[in-house]
Amino acid sequence: MIGKKIIESEPVSGAEVKEIIEEYSENNELNYEQNLTINHLARFKRYSVEDSKEILEKLHEAFPNMKAKVAVHIVDLVPKDLADLRLIFAKEAYQPNKEEMEQILEILEQYDIVE
């Protein structure tokens, strides 16, 4: 891509991506990749956009050392137990202890998953 440069990059949850693509599709035709993305996002259970944003805020406040992309993975993957969380943190520099992981699960349990 000659002449194009990424100015800013910010991880967003799957729920936000789905909402953005759906809004875009109201006025424009989706390309192949966008259709694949929307079909993929429709297959999985996830939190609503509002809940996703709230969870990300709470995770950032409770765990300032956690990278934003890891928090987004937590919201998108909806871990159910400590084993799932350990997999998310497997290759990360920040490794929460058992109590912190339980706190993450408690934050997630406060919200309902949208089918």
Kindly list the domain boundaries of the chain, sorted by start residue: 14-43, 49-109
The pLDDT of residue 1 is above 70? no
**Other beta carbons less than 10 A from residue 76's beta carbon:** 19
Average the pLDDT over 89-112 and give the result: 94
pLDDT interval class at 115 (50, 70, 90)? low
d(CA 8, CA 95): 27
d(CA 26, CA 36): 17
The chain-wide mean pLDDT, for the chain, equals 92
Please write the tens of the pLDDT for every residue from 30-80.
Answer: 999 999 999 999 898 889 999 999 999 999 999 999 999 999 999 999 999
pLDDT at residue 69, rounded to an integer: 95
Average the pLDDT over 96-115 and give the result: 93
pLDDT interval class at 29 (50, 70, 90)? very high
Token duo for residue 16: 């936000």
Q: What is the DSSP letter of 113?
A: P
pTM of the full structure: 0.87
Average the pLDDT over 3-16 and give the result: 89
**Looking at domain 49-109, does it have CATH number 1.10.540?**
no
